[in-house]
Amino acid sequence: MPNELVELLSRLVATASVNPMGRTRGGVSLSDHPYGEARLTELLASTLIALGLSVERQPIEPGRENLLARLDGDTPPEDGGPLLLLDAHQDTVPTVGMTIAPFEPSIRDGRLYGRGACDVKGGMAAMIAAVARLARERPPGRPTIVLACPVNEENGFSGASGLVGGWRSSRLASLPRAPDAAIVAEPTGLDVVVAHKGVVRWRCHTLGQAGHSAHPEVGVSAIYRMGRVLGAIEQYAAEEVGRVASHPRVGPATLSVGTIHGGVSVNTVPDRCTIEIDRRVPPGEQPAAAREHLIHYLAGRVDLDFSLEHDAPYMQGLPLSDADNRRLADHVAEHARQVAGSCQQRGVAYGTDAGIYSAAGVPSIVFGPGAIEQAHTRDEWIAIEQVEQAAEVYFRLCAAWGRGAERD
């Protein structure tokens, strides 16, 4: 199994599945290397079919499909049997700035290097290995397992949202109803993440009046206006946002401005400036309300005597609450301690597909190999031992789930 697992992980990493992160708006085709998940979707389909699983594709966007593979348990969910969802997203972040060959996996000192090795193809390989073992050994009382590999986790969670819409509308043969629980693979260091923040992102614009830079007094600089807005947002982030919402496991709400764009040339007074805002949302707060709170704050600032334009959010991710996943978390942690020796239950600041499933009423947790500190990095890697341990934990959890002792 270890050699087969490493070989599988190497194939996954070698297959580029970079999220275009909105680049299609600039005319970049998803067929242009390395954008889009389609190549990985094909590899996953052939791999899972070879294991004897039924495979279903769910179109989400042009050229981007969720892939679902189902292994039936002793009693199918259509007849009232238990149904467990395993989730590992297909996409990775882009490769800009990497110091290693992103799609040429290499092994050094017990680590496998390459884009996506940690986030989240290590967890994906471990889940596939666990399902393959379940298919071979067929432990008695096993549940039906659906391994879902959604697209677009890194830039909008549309794949996970599509899965929820699919089972709610009975459009998915693999998921005829909501699963009883969901395990989402992300790099948690084999700890169990029981709560995380959500996110809302949008663009804000200031408008000015264009003019020649030889006579700047005849124009109105949108960049100068945005500078005043940024000062107000910086004060809001430092003094206000942390008091709006907080959660004991994930901490307070936060806000960041990540990009700024303005002007067309150095000798033209700019008539437009745009920033992108990232607001992190603790459990108990809603993304829409979080966005409105900042908009209302800025509207009340007397030093901003001009209008601001706020676009609708281009991304919203839901927080994961620990209100209804305690039993699931306890059982995953028990198996993890048996395999790895230790396991904590904790909260994190980043978002995952688990928030989408939890909001749909499915008890959900996040668990997988690797550390978030290695995800998205210029030399991304994962410890092979953790991938092997994760595969064992996934197998034990799935094998025991259908006996009823671990179902919420």
Q: Do residues 186 and 220 share a domain?
A: no
Whether 33 and 81 share a structural domain? yes
Asked if residue 378 and residue 327 are part of one domain, the reply reads yes
Structure tokens at 226: 């945005």
Q: What pLDDT is attached to residue 22?
A: 77
For residue 140, is the peptide bond before it cis, meaning its omega torsion is within 30 degrees of 0? no
The CATH number of the domain where 142 resides is what? 3.40.630.10
Is residue 189 located within the same domain as residue 204? no
Quote the distance between the C-alpha of residue 207 and its chain's center. 34
| CATH for 288 | 3.30.70.360
pLDDT computed for residue 208 by the predictor: 97
The type of residue at 94 is P
- Residue 136 has a pLDDT of 96
pLDDT at position 26, please? Answer: 44
On whether residue 346 sits in a domain, the answer given is yes
**Structural domain span for residue 158:** 2-196+319-401
Q: How many CA atoms lie within 13 A of 45 on its CB side?
A: 13
**Count of domains forming the chain:** 2
| Structure confidence at residue 33 (pLDDT) | 55
Note whether 11 and 142 are same-domain residues.
yes
Cα separation, 221 vs 194, in Å, equals 47
Examine the domain organization and report whether 136 and 210 are in the same domain: no
pTM for the full model?
0.93
Of 291, 263, 265, 295, the residue nearest 279 (C-alpha): 291
Q: Is there a contact between 121 and 364 (Cβ–Cβ < 8 Å)?
A: no
Whether 298 and 343 map to the same domain: the answer is: no
Does any domain span residue 358? yes
> Mind listing the pLDDT tens digit for each residue in 366-398?
999 999 999 999 999 999 999 999 999 999 999
Per-residue confidence (pLDDT) for residue 35, from 0 to 100: 87
Q: 30-47 pLDDT, tens per residue?
A: 555 568 999 999 999 999
The answer as to whether 23 is a domain residue is: yes
Whether residue 226 lies inside any domain: the answer is yes
Question: Are both 184 and 47 inside the same structural domain?
Answer: yes
151 and 271, same domain (yes or no): no
Which among 315, 347, 370 is the end of a domain? 315
Query: Does residue 189 form part of some domain?
Result: yes
* Positions of the chain with pLDDT lower than 50, given as ranges: 25-27, 405-408
Which pair of structure tokens corresponds to residue 305?
A: 């005597």
